[in-house]
Amino acid sequence: MQLPSSKKARAAVLTAALLLSATPVTATAVTADHRPAVRHSYGEDTLRRDLAAVRRAGGGDVNVLARFDRADGAPLMARVGTRTAGSPDPVPWNAHFRVASTTKTFTATVVLQLAAEQRLSLDDTVEHWLPGVVAGHGNDGGRITVRDLLRQTSGLYDYVDDPEIRDRLIGHFDENRYDTTPAADLVAVAMRHRPLFVPRPGGATRWAYSNTNYLVAGMIAEKAGGASWQDLVAHRVIARLGLRDTTVPGLDPYLPAPYVNAYLTTAGGERLDVTEHSFQHTADSGVVSTTADLNTFFRALAGGRLLPAEQWREMRRTVERTDDPEDVAEMPEGTYGLGLRKIPLSCGGYYYTHEGDGAGVYTRPAVSADGRRAVTVSVTTTTAPPDLAALNRATGTLVDHALCARPGTAAAAVSPDSPAPGRPGVGPWL
């Protein structure tokens, strides 16, 4: 479930006047053992500038955590902000966060594994697996394939855009934060609306982002895999890779410690803590992870450790984004595959990603095509949601710098008492 300041959530109600931020600007660039680094492919000076730019793009008061992993060197990490509003404690290095729609890559991976095992086919229709579930108001599950669901070419209405759902999410978040609505009920909400389009055999491929696609995909995976989508992800991805800090909590509204509190501003101008909730418990949004684990996951995916070659090729077979101008406005570059975006690098080639935008938390992972490098940025709000186009530009620049850096590039050492970038004398470099 996404909550950006666009059609995907209509978060304008929560973007009232910003509160005065008590968050000190702190940042760190360190190696995995937390000692100041000396040389990296992606240098600390560049990382500090990029991190400061992400914070500015997020409104100036967001908390940011970034980690860059590579095959030819030690991890590089950076942080700016504090664990809670008004606290002197810095953002934890291993902070847990809800990855939101980055979950879609986990779900797509499981579906492709089931396809490799011939337990389902990407050409199977929704009607074959879920008779009568996608029907009414012009919806036709007999014309939508599993592939359409994963690559967002089904045309199904996005349940997050339903006025009643929006009101619960945005207008009455606090009263509804312990939401337990099953995926099937949310799909039923989407079926009250006409689709944007219906796939036509032999016709042009049309694309529009819809969280509903992954609810349906998760339901099909459960039937084909004989277990809940949570268990399928846990056993087939998390356990296989040893992702100790990644979970699928379901209806549990609490994050594992440590974590960063997320806040939004209500229409009345009050700061609302939105950390604790169970809205994101379905196959489109329900994974909790860390920057380190997400890098491991995406490197394993690109490195062939999760999918056979045929399914990995299928996942990377992308289409143009034709019918969703807001998605294109927020992220102008790139095409969409099966739970994966393909975005060009300034140095040539591409990287793969899937963003996650939730309640006060924004996740931006990326991996090089060969799986040798990965970087993840986690942004947590302290007041209002950021402008997604600006945030994506800043995080995209950070990703591009990291993935395009030349091996052996000299990096400046970090002084423990150096001031934060752009804010001389404010906040130590720890």
**Which of the residues are catalytic?**
101
**Using an 8 Å Cβ cutoff, are 293 and 246 in contact?**
yes
Residue type, 343: I
Asked if residue 258 has a cis previous peptide bond (ω within 30° of 0), the answer is yes
Q: Phi/psi at 154 (nearest 5 deg)?
A: -85, -30
Residue 368 CB-density burial (10 A; 0-12 exposed, 13-18 middle, 19+ buried) = buried
CA gap 11, 212 in Å, rounded: 19
CA angle 58, 107, 244 (to 5 degrees): 75
Of 9, 55, 93, 11, which is closest to residue 395 (Cα–Cα)? 55
Beta-carbon contacts of residue 304 (< 8 Å; ≥ 6 apart): 312, 371
CA gap 77, 90 in Å, rounded: 13
